[in-house]
Structure 1
Amino acid sequence: MKINYKYLPIYISIILSIGILIGGFLNFSSQNQFLNANNSKAKLNQLIDFINNEYVDELDTDSIVNRTVDNILSQLDPHSVYIPPSEQAEVAENMKGDFVGVGIRFYLYKDTVAVVESIANGPSAKAGIKAGDRILYADHVKLFGRKLPTDSLFSKFKGAEGSQVLLTVYRKSENRKINFTITRGVVPLKSVDVGLMLNPTMAYIKINRFAETTYEEFKSNLVRLQKQGAKSLVIDLRDNGGGYMEEAIEIADELLADRKLIVFTKNKKGKVDKTYATAKGSFESGNLFILINENTASASEILAGAVQDNDRGTIVGRRSFGKGLVQREMDFEDGSAVRLTVARYYTPTGRSIQKPYVKGEEQYFKESEARFKNGELYDKECIEVDDSLKFKTPKGKIVYGGGGIVPDIFVPIEFPDADEATLYLMESGVVGNFVFEQLDKKRNTFKALTLGQFLNKMNVTDDYFNAFDTFLSKHIQGVQLKKGKLVVKRYLNAEFVKQLYGEKAFYDILLKDDVMIKRVLNKK
């Protein structure tokens, strides 16, 4: 187009006017959004002021604010949650991987603090406190016969590193009181339960969550097991609800070759962040198996998805939970925090394994229970997959998005005749409490037995199964143990072994008849 320069000033004025007009509209729109946001905040603040100043009754406005925050977050997704100050310290401690205290596991038995275990190499174990001891006083403060809440008891045992507490203990086996001056120290909270050899060449590592120290724990166990001859590896992620995705990524890096995609995330603005494996992996070849079940979630699914999508190993078990959302924790000044979903994550093939949550939080978390009813936990053919969410791995294997990781090898839930409540019950703390009470009646007699003698004794009697049935009937109604007798007896035996002989012996008992482990060993 030919421009008549005589009219150039007019053209420029018109262009500037249009620009200012459009800019005004855009600015008005952004200002409008800003004003709307500010008006909403002002309205909430003003409402709190109205209640504080004018409402007829005295109210705790902090609790109102907390409920308001909970209600707002409930409109988002099931994993965006508010953590009040009273819970935040415990949540942070659990994910940190250690705490400062005296180092005991205890059970409030008949209004008395009974020691279930002095944690190995912890302050109490070093001082000589034993399982079965009753702690009567902490710094002359009476602990028995008062029905003290658990958090109050914890406060007596925890404190600053290097600080001391005087514990007065009654040792039933010796019928005497003993005073112990305990210097509080750092006590590890293990996220790797155990690392052991299943046979001369196959290692097994059980991870219960992904905390700050999980990768370090995993790596030290892996190195130790490789020195013992491990050429194949089983990583057990059953009932692992997740945690820090960075720790899962570090472990995936140990298993995958250089430049293999581990995971990528996408936020609301469409920004994609990809994470690749490096050349540092110490187990990039050799048979690899990942065990999962319906309670395997989040960071665990990132690890399982990275292994499956890169054709690196075999996923064994049942369909995982289906959480594909990434949260970031943001702190408030009062010590509380909000854990807010900030992105979605995708496995290397590009699938999101997040299951739907449109029916609300209650239905979302009960979906795993629904798998009992629809038969999915017993029959692979009952797993519903969405063909529109079909993906292919580099070797052409079909994998699905839209609701968890579907295993390569399906293993139905053990003892299908046992009801759902029984199966979950056997992995709860109630079993440990029962076993403690049984041991407490004749601890010295039990301790005189070797492991082999103990197992022979337990295998020829139903006495403890029957006693457990009676114990439960006093505390929990409607549980039918007889249908799941074999699994109940196995868990009882394992818990006795754990309290008497330690963690490794506990897993030796459980894994011996574990159907997923049997399937892995047979496949190999």
Structure 2
Amino acid sequence: MINKKYRFLWPLVIGVILALGILIGGKLDFSDNPERLFSANSNKDKLNRLIDYIDHEYVDEVNTDSIVDVTVNNILEKLDPHSVYIPKENMAEVTENMKGDFVGIGVSFYMYRDTITVVRAVEDGPSYGKGILPGDRILMAGEDTLYGPEVTNTSVVERLKGLEGSRVHLLMYRKSTDETFPLVIQRGRVPIKSVDAHYMLNDELGYIRANRFAETTFEEFKDALDDLLDEGASKLVLDLRDNPGGYLGIAEEMADEFLPDDKLILFTKNKKGKIDNTYATSKGDFEDRQVYVLINERSASASEIIAGALQDNDLGTIVGRRSFGKGLVQREMQLGDGSAVRLTISRYYTPTGRSIQRDYKNGSRDYYKEFTQRFHNGELTSVDSIKVADSLKFTTPKGKVVYGGGGIIPDVFVPIDSKEETIKALENLVSRFAFEHLEDDRLRYSDYDKNSFVTDFKVDDILFENFISFAQRTPRVRELNLQYYDLETQIKLYIKAALAEQLYDPHTMAKIQSGQDAMIQKVLELEADWEGKQ
């Protein structure tokens, strides 16, 4: 008799046994008939034998790997929405993204008229400072031709990647001087930045934006923070909007930067009830200073750990909208064939003891549908529309009431800006337009440096009209029937920001965008109110 308490584990056991069974399937005896196949075997034997029987006897050719993938996915769907299977063909990309770098030459590019055209060399990558300029074409890599209608982004990346330390001989073309020239680049580590912008908002207030919590995120964060401290920052805005999370340990390290010694950051609890507490140490460089954390409905997991740790310890100010609501911790397990499972192994709780995990008892489809309901029930435009349960009420040491059960509710609410969200949805299109505009008229910007561009350059009506024509040639955008002139101010600002990114760097782009960023403007209002009360 199976103990009901442990019955929910059987799908997981089956999945693990199944993966192992595929590895040793070649050694099994295929002489069994169907009656024996389903006679007195356990569940794990049934699945192992079924896969092998299909592989050996089924009338048509079947990809048994795909059957296994479907089976594993079905098993995990019965657990929780965040236990996931990563097929082997996706593992390299996932690993690179979380590791924070990959091996290549380090350029960002667009395919322009069937030719690779460099947007810019990646900062701190192998090509940075090696003579590659924005607008340069890469015609060949070794013996491989990199232009023509058959060349795709994927094939280009594959040809430019290689072993670390290996050399690639490039043939370049520079439009501005109409010259072709060779260039040798030694492949190396190309950073995938997770801290993609930092700058000073004013003389005292620094700004850092993190897009995920990868292996390199804390190191990137510290470098950015050190830069801002050198520039005189005594207060900080930490932007975690749209940040889906990542490594738990990285979030703990970042929270430690703000919390005094021995303050509880979070605790985790596994299925056996074992509790692990994580406390702040003496390493923090930004303790006892004002910090604002920006969150929105797409801030999840590790982002919520930081927001919750500060909020529950009565430190800093959380600004924005209710976060996603993910309070589960996953661990990755390799399955031996290049694939892996990320399995939920514990729940985490904020210092007051609240779980911010949303309910998922009705399955993943209902779980994500409930999340999208936030867009329809008004809670993105009014804090009064956020539904809370008194049974999930908690109190911080200074008496502030906070709630569990579905994300972090900010201290200061900022409603969603429909115009801003529309423009953000067009961000890739605006970037492409800026790229093609620079291809036609790069010399127009040769007299600007970074600072003069921020303060003096304005997107004129001709450039704005050119963007409308460009957008209207894109079927997906044309179907939206956008009222461009109602969005003129926002579009012009995003065009300027996109030009700044391609001419200079992402920090300059973010600084320009902040001029119409509702959450950042709210922080500046809070700062002004605080100054006025002194």
Change (3 A) 1:130 1:308: same
Task: Write the deviation string for residues 126-145 of structure 1: whole angstroms up to 9, x where unpaired.
Answer: 32112112222111211222
- 3-state secondary structure, aligned to 1:381: helix
1:311 maps to 314
1:84 maps to 87
Change (3 A) 1:125 1:460: same
Q: Give the counterpart of 1:208 among 205, 208, 211.
A: 211
- 3-state secondary structure, aligned to 1:151: helix
1:15 maps to none
Q: Does residue 393 in structure 1 map to residue 396 in structure 2?
A: yes
- 3-state secondary structure, aligned to 1:264: strand
Change (3 A) 1:247 1:121: closer
Q: Contact 2:374 / 2:380 at 8 angstroms: preserved in 1?
A: yes
1:351 maps to 354
- 3-state secondary structure, aligned to 1:215: helix
User: Root-mean-square deviation (CA), in Å?
Assistant: 2.4
Q: Contact 1:465 / 1:489 at 8 angstroms: preserved in 2?
A: no
Flag as ranges the 4+ runs of structure 1 deviating above 6 A: none
1:61 maps to 64
**Letter of the aligned partner of 2:438 in structure 1?**
L
Query: Percent identical across equivalent pairs?
Result: 52
1:412 maps to 415
Output the TM-score relative to the length of structure 2.
0.87
Output the TM-score relative to the length of structure 1.
0.88
**Letter of the aligned partner of 1:107 in structure 2?**
Y
Report deviation, 1:473: 4.4
In the aligned structure 2, how far is the partner of 1:370 from the partner of 1:187? Answer: 39
In the aligned structure 2, how far is the partner of 1:373 from the partner of 1:367? Answer: 10
Q: Contact 1:465 / 1:488 at 8 angstroms: preserved in 2?
A: no
Change (3 A) 1:137 1:46: same
Task: Write the deviation string for residues 404-448 of structure 1: whole angstroms up to 9, x where unpaired.
Answer: 10000001112x3x395x244134x33322211111112222334
Q: Does residue 288 in structure 1 map to residue 281 in structure 2?
A: no
Q: Does residue 259 in structure 1 map to residue 262 in structure 2?
A: yes
- Size of the aligned set, in residue pairs, is 492
In the aligned structure 1, how far is the partner of 2:179 from the partner of 2:462? Answer: 34
Q: Does residue 134 in structure 1 map to residue 137 in structure 2?
A: yes
Q: Does residue 175 in structure 1 map to residue 215 in structure 2?
A: no
Larger of the two Rg values belongs to structure: 1
Q: Contact 2:214 / 2:246 at 8 angstroms: preserved in 1?
A: yes
Q: Does residue 43 in structure 1 map to residue 53 in structure 2?
A: no
Larger mean CA deviation between 289-298 and 109-118 belongs to 109-118
Report deviation, 1:395: 0.6
Q: Does residue 476 in structure 1 map to residue 482 in structure 2?
A: no
- 3-state secondary structure, aligned to 1:137: strand
- 3-state secondary structure, aligned to 1:442: helix
2:430 maps to 431
Change (3 A) 1:327 1:315: same
**Letter of the aligned partner of 1:374 in structure 2?**
N
Change (3 A) 1:476 1:106: same
In the aligned structure 2, how far is the partner of 1:121 from the partner of 1:395? Answer: 45
1:9 maps to none
Larger mean CA deviation between 61-70 and 113-122 belongs to 113-122
Report deviation, 1:456: 5.1
Larger mean CA deviation between 496-505 and 261-270 belongs to 496-505
Larger mean CA deviation between 310-319 and 109-118 belongs to 109-118
Q: Contact 1:115 / 1:131 at 8 angstroms: preserved in 2?
A: yes
2:230 maps to 227
Change (3 A) 1:349 1:199: same
2:442 maps to 443
- 3-state secondary structure, aligned to 1:156: helix
- 3-state secondary structure, aligned to 1:126: coil
Where structure 1 has 5 or more consecutive residues not aligned to the other structure, the ranges are 1-24
1:248 maps to 251
Q: Contact 1:325 / 1:343 at 8 angstroms: preserved in 2?
A: yes
2:515 maps to 512
Q: Contact 1:426 / 1:491 at 8 angstroms: preserved in 2?
A: no
